Structure 1
Amino acid sequence: MMRTRITELLGIEIPVVQAPMGYIARSRLASAVSNAGGMGIIETSSGRLDDIKVEIARMNDLTDRPWGVNIAQLLVPDATVIDFVIDHGVRFVTTSAGDPGRFTAVLKDAGITVFHVVPTLRGARKAVDAGVDGLIVEGVEGGGFKNPHGSSTMVLTPLVRAGVDVPIIAAGGICDGVSMAAALVLGADGVQMGTRMLSAAESPVHGNWKQAVVDAAETDTVLLNRFGRPGMRALRTELTSELEHQDQVQMPGLDRLMDQYFGGRMDVAVPFGGQVMGRINSVEPVADILNRAWEECRRCLRRLGQAASQ
């Protein structure tokens, strides 16, 4: 068994963390990731804390493997979710969209491992100074909320690795073993998958969204709010192609979000997704995705090692 600092620290078999996608990273998907040997994550970015608390409570019935929760600070004004996370025995928390110093100390005092999401080297250093255990280093090619002035995973990962000495999870552009091996070579200790998990069989989104990912080319995303906040990378549709030219894009109402996420109406809201959708060709079970990726990753690394020894 190949081990990394991420597998050792988090107690998982495959160094893959599932991205905390709003309304998507719920117990069905997260438990499938954990049961397959990765790290499933429950989201809070939807802001639906009553629903999220149910999903957190449900995880203990669905898996006996490690799992975690993301605290999206900008979107979760109610800090009582921290008490709920602690009370339900969560052992791993990722924090994002806010000050890494806000919750790190209280979470670590409760015995929880804390990683913070960063889009820059400056952010990485700030998070390390705040006492986090590790970082999720997020390239701008990934889907969802983004720093519109960020750099790619290939630039950011080795930059952060050279600047700090904590475990790193690379995020953005990763969907299989080849991209996973590349991230490890760049200095990551594990990876995060978002768009690949969105399009997995256990993902709760409508099949139309999954098929749109499968059909998309690597050029079929747009970066919204280039000059506003927050930046967002999404699938190119008729709607998002229009929004691309606006300085400040407002998120649609909940009814339209639900029509898109679970009703399959792809042009009524903003369907998040990363450039890596151009490399995703099918909808598959989470276990197949993770097991094949890890096997392929190790094969790639062995091949590189053999070539280097010749």
Structure 2
Amino acid sequence: MSNRITSLFNIQYPIIQAGMIWCSGWKLAAAVSAAGGLGIIGAGSMYPEVLREHIQKIKKATDKPFAVNVPLLYPNVEEIMQILVAEGVKIVFTSAGNPAAWTSFLKAENITVVHVVANTKFALKAEASGVDAIVAEGFEAGGHNGREETTTMCLIPMIADTVKIPVIAAGGIASGRSMLAAMALGADGVQIGSAFAVAEESSAHPSFKQRIIGAAEGDTKLRMQKLVPVRLLKNSFESAVAAAEAEGADAETLKVLLGRARAKSGMFEGNLEEGELEIGQVSALLKEIKPAAAILNEIWQGFLTEKDRISQFNY
């Protein structure tokens, strides 16, 4: 398949692995890229020198294109940007911040830039800043989320009708069926997080992966809207946040409750009760831990199968 996204990234399939903190190390990114998608190293959970190590390792593991995701509000962002340039990274996904702050710097280094948004207002701002594409992430997505709580089904056509640059759909996509739906809504490609979080190559803790594939409908909740909205699996920490919010907790109270290294404790170290377990609603559809290449291939083959099925409808 060839379209604006495959051409932009020089990849075989318009399937992008999300840059998930504590899940997206070089092994997962390399596996996705080698299988024909675009793998992403998630810099949000890495010290600068750790990120450098992951970039060097993925370059040895595959000659296929890969990207790095950089949350712009995180510390050390200047040092991270210098590392990206020094290590010859060609594609950067930015999130959690103003794309205007770094897009021109990255573009001056001939780096392709993609920014993650959750509403049309910021999609237009990202386009105006000069990014090459946009990830439009709906309310279903895991991790940090938009305050508007706009679902993917509504968000994708709104943004596709608003901007001229390619749109990558994210949130609730883990199968060929949902990929086809996103493309029908106007997306040029899809970004997938939760399904790759349970890949064999994901750096998520094995206990966290088992918790994900055991999740049922309704087992995730959007919490901490007064701080930074984040979708979490239910556990003791999520219950404590829900109780605090029910009592009217402000942002400072929630920040104290969140504490330090809560996400690392849950997703990377496997503390399933007191840790922060970020995952999407689509976790209820995930039932097996498999290699990343198998996950990508199943999504692509499912996409082709559903496209053929729909093309045979006789109206």
TM-score range, shorter chain: over 0.9
The whole-number CA distance in structure 1 between the counterparts of 2:263 and 2:8 is: 36
Deviation at 1:91, TM superposition (A): 1.1
Instruction: Tell me the residue number matched to 2:242.
Output: 244
Instruction: Tell me the residue number matched to 1:268.
Output: 274
Instruction: Tell me the residue number matched to 1:230.
Output: 228
Greater Cα offset, 62-71 or 235-244:
235-244
Instruction: Tell me the residue number matched to 1:196.
Output: 195
> What code does the residue aligned with 2:183 have?
L
Residue 297 (structure 1) aligned to one of 289, 292, 303:
303
The whole-number CA distance in structure 2 between the counterparts of 1:218 and 1:252 is: 28
Instruction: Tell me the residue number matched to 1:286.
Output: 292
Matched, 1:253 2:253: no
Deviation at 1:65, TM superposition (A): 0.4
Matched, 1:215 2:214: yes
Deviation at 1:252, TM superposition (A): 3.4
Local SS of the residue matching 1:122: helix
Correspondences of 1:105-254 after superposition (within 5 Å): 105-226=104-225, 228-245=226-243, 246=245, 247=249, 248=251, 249-250=254-255, 251-254=258-261
Instruction: Tell me the residue number matched to 1:80.
Output: 79
Tell me if structure 2 keeps the 8 A contact 1:100–1:130. Answer: yes
Deviation at 1:301, TM superposition (A): 1.6
Tell me if structure 2 keeps the 8 A contact 1:222–1:244. Answer: no
> What code does the residue aligned with 1:277 have?
S
Deviation at 1:258, TM superposition (A): 4.2
Local SS of the residue matching 2:121: helix
CA deviations on 1:242-278 (whole Å, 9 max, x unpaired) are 2123244333333x54443343220121100010001
The whole-number CA distance in structure 2 between the counterparts of 1:50 and 1:302 is: 47
CA deviations on 1:167-221 (whole Å, 9 max, x unpaired) are 1110100111111111111111111111111111111222211111111112100
* Total equivalences in the alignment: 306
Tell me if structure 2 keeps the 8 A contact 1:208–1:266. Answer: yes
The whole-number CA distance in structure 1 between the counterparts of 2:81 and 2:168 is: 23
The whole-number CA distance in structure 2 between the counterparts of 1:138 and 1:258 is: 23
The whole-number CA distance in structure 2 between the counterparts of 1:222 and 1:63 is: 37
Q: Which runs of 5+ in 2 are unaligned?
A: none
CA deviations on 1:16-60 (whole Å, 9 max, x unpaired) are 111111122111111111111111111121252221121112111
The change in CA–CA distance for 1:237 and 1:124 in structure 2 (over 3 A counts) is same
CA deviations on 1:254-310 (whole Å, 9 max, x unpaired) are 3x54443343220121100010001111111101110111011022122223327x6
The whole-number CA distance in structure 1 between the counterparts of 2:115 and 2:88 is: 19
Instruction: Tell me the residue number matched to 1:103.
Output: 102
Local SS of the residue matching 1:125: helix
Q: TM-score, normalised by structure 1?
A: 0.94
The whole-number CA distance in structure 2 between the counterparts of 1:253 and 1:98 is: 20
Q: TM-score, normalised by structure 2?
A: 0.93
Local SS of the residue matching 1:79: helix
- Provide the identity percentage: 36
Tell me if structure 2 keeps the 8 A contact 1:257–1:268. Answer: no
Local SS of the residue matching 1:116: strand
Q: Which runs of 5+ in 1 are unaligned?
A: none
Local SS of the residue matching 2:313: helix
* CA root-mean-square deviation: 1.5
Local SS of the residue matching 2:44: coil
The whole-number CA distance in structure 1 between the counterparts of 2:181 and 2:211 is: 26
